[in-house]
Every structure is written in structure tokens, then in C-alpha cells.
Amino acid sequence: MFKNRSIIFNYFFSIFLLLVFIGTLHAETITLYSGRSKSLVDPIIQQFEKETGIEVKVNYANTTQLAAKLLTEGKKSPAALFWAQDAGALGAVSKEKLFENLPKSILNKVPKIFRHDDGYWIATSGRARVLAYSSERVKTEDLPESVFELTQSKWRDKVGWAPLNASFQAFVTAMREQVGEKRTEKWLRDMKDNGTKTYPKNTPIIEALDAGEIDLGLPNHYYLFRFKKGNSKFPVEQTFFKAKDAGNLVNVAGIGLLKNSDNKKTALKFIEFLLSPKAQQYFVSEVFEYPVTEGVIPNANLLPLEELLKIVPKFDLNEMDDLEGTIKLLRRAGIM
């Protein structure tokens, strides 16, 4: 009797294991190349996995490095999606025709300024370049009105930047388009000669302002808010340059679907999720970024988007596809 029970148990347990194995074979998975840092986006990726049952295999790295990786891998890349920190990297990949055209049902979720003209990528959130400064050592009336004033002698050894950061490189790409190659190169060289201090990324710039290493810095807008969240008296503030100045670039984080992907329908579900009210609210409330869709409760710390767009220089994010040219310029100027 007990022997029969044991046989029956083993039989059904074997069937159970077989079903589990078959289920894993058919489980939906997508490979994501993410230039967005894990600390920022892992919570929303986990939420997507929880709600859909789709596994996201993430390769985290610098946005510029991932763009270069995709260009090298070409059609052999295992990536289904590329989530970039800036429009410049997205432009470099779309320029090589590696992205699939996104369906209109997705593209129409955001304004035209937040998507590629040919539908190769779409923004997931917005960010602005700002001038961060020490509120203890710099008076507001003494702040420079233009990014080009940072080369003045009174700011010698007092400014910090992150030239290896993808957002900074996108900013330089935009400057090249706005004021030309020669003026941009001169600004880079003058900044270097003026003792501008180099940091690996944006967060150390904010920390250096607090530590007294520098008085001014050029980060994205949302980094400071993370420090303020933990300490409202953190001695750093930020502002914009005068209206239409090249230093006021508004950039985007965005995502594109790779042509080589063999599970495009599944990958599109992830893009749709990033544009959902839940994900957009996460970017606004937790990451302090700007939403790219309507119906999101605004963050009181952020300048309203309609006001922000009045002070940014006139520039088309679709023109930011010459990342290679920017890298060459930074090397020629001795910045990299």
C-alpha cells in the first residue's frame, strides 16, 4: 500500500517538474541594455516584472559605452531594447538603422519634441542641465548669466564638470549644433585652461560643492534633489542661465527597439509600461525628472515644463546623433 502511494507520488511529482520545466522554456524574457543607473530604474523594472511575469535581463553600463557596444555588435546583438540616458546616444544608434520603427500607438503617447522624427526612439523622461552652486560661498547676484562666462578668471579652479558622462557629452553635441564647432572647441579649451575640475559623474560634482572643492558645477537638475531629500539644509542650490543660453539644454532619457530582436511584441510591452501613469509618476516623484506624458501629478521642486521650455535654446533632439564627432572633439581639446 505504502509502496503504491510512493509510486503515485513520484509520478505526479515528475509531472509537476516537467510542467515547471516546460513553463520556463516558454517564459517571456527580454534583454535590456540600460544606460540608466540601476539605483534609479531597478525598482520600476521589478514592478514591470511583477505585473507582467516577463523577465528583464539587464545589462547596466555607461550610455555611451552601450551605444558603442551596439554599433559593434550590429545585428548580432542580444539586446531587444536600448534605454539610454540621453538623446545623443539614441541618435547615434538610430543613425546606423539599428532601431525598429515604433508603432504610432506608442509614439502618439508623447509630444513630437519627445520622439524621433522617424519613430526610431521615444523619450521616457526629461531632464535639464543646470548650474549648481555653493549657497555658502556664492551670492546669487554674482552667478554667471551664460555658460560661456564660466571661463572668466574669477571662476578659475572653482568649476566642476563630468566630461565622461553621457549627459555632458550630449550637452556638448547640442552646443556644437547651436554655436558651431570652433566656438565649442574654444570653450572646452578655455574651461580646461581655467582649471575646471573633472569628476567621473554628476553625483561627485554635488558632493564636491558641499565639500568646498568647487563653487560651481554643471550637472543634470535631479541630482541635487536627492541630497535635499535627505537633508533640506544641504548647502547647494541650482539655477538656470539666462533664457535661450546654450547651458540650458533639456535632454531626455529614451528607449529604442532593436531590429534584431526576436520578441518585439514582448519588448514593446516594456516601452508601453514606461509611458504608463504609474511609471511616469515614479520618474517624477522618485527620480525628480520631468514626465513626457500628461496626467502626472507635478513635482513641486521642478519648474513647470511649459516654463522650462521658454528658457531652453531652440534645438531639435533629433540633431544629436553625432556622438562620435563629440568624442573626437573632446579628445582633440584634451578633455578626454
pLDDT of residue 210: 97
Residues 238 and 260 in one domain: no
Q: Is residue 310 part of a domain?
A: no
Please provide the average confidence, as pLDDT, over all residues in the chain.
91
Grid cell in block for residue 336: 578626454
Q: Is residue 309 part of a domain?
A: no
Q: Is residue 10 part of a domain?
A: no
Render pLDDT for 265-319 as a digit per residue (tens, 0 to 9).
999 999 999 999 999 999 999 999 999 998 899 898 888 888 888 999 887 888 8
Who wins on pLDDT, 27 or 120?
120
Q: Is residue 20 part of a domain?
A: no
CATH number for 277? 3.40.190.10
Residues 122 and 257 in one domain: yes
Q: Is residue 313 part of a domain?
A: no
| Overall domain count for the chain | 2
pTM: 0.82
In whole angstroms, give the CA distance from residue 132 to residue 196: 14
pLDDT of residue 22: 43
| pLDDT of 243 higher than 60 | yes
State the number of CA atoms in the 13 A half-sphere of 223 facing the CB: 24
The mean per-residue pLDDT over the stretch 180-205 comes to 97
Confidence band of 143 (pLDDT split at 50, 70, 90): very high
Residues 205 and 191 in one domain: yes
Residues 160 and 222 in one domain: yes
Grid cell in block for residue 120: 526610431
Residues 215 and 328 in one domain: yes
Q: Is residue 314 part of a domain?
A: no
Residues 99 and 45 in one domain: yes
| pLDDT of 21 higher than 90 | no
* Residues of the domain holding 106: 31-127+252-302
Tell the burial category of 325 from Cβ atoms under 10 Å away from its Cβ (0-12, 13-18, 19+).
middle
Pairing mode of beta strands 81-84, 250-257: antiparallel
For the ranges 144-148, 225-229, 297-301, 305-309, the one whose mean pLDDT is highest: 144-148
In whole angstroms, give the CA distance from residue 304 to residue 301: 9
Q: Is residue 315 part of a domain?
A: no
Q: Is there a contact between 226 and 286 (Cβ–Cβ < 8 Å)?
A: no
